[in-house]
Amino acid sequence: MSDPHRVTVAQDICHEKPCVRHMRWLVEVILDMIASGMPIDEILADHPELERTDIIACLEYARNIVSGEQVRQVA
pLDDT truncated to tens, each residue of the chain (75 aa)?
567 689 988 888 888 889 999 898 999 999 999 999 999 999 999 999 999 999 999 999 999 889 887 665 544
pLDDT at residue 1, rounded to an integer: 55
Q: Within a 10 A sphere around the Cβ of 41, how many other Cβ atoms?
A: 9
- Give residue 52's Cα distance to chain centre: 10
Query: If you write DSSP's letter for every residue of the chain in order, what string do you get?
Result: ---GGGEE--TTSGGG--EETTSS-BHHHHHHHHHTT--HHHHHHH-TT--HHHHHHHHHHHHHHHHT-------
- Domains of the chain, each with CATH number or no CATH: 4-67 (1.10.10.10)
Does the pTM of the predicted model rise above 0.85?
A: no
pLDDT at residue 71, rounded to an integer: 61
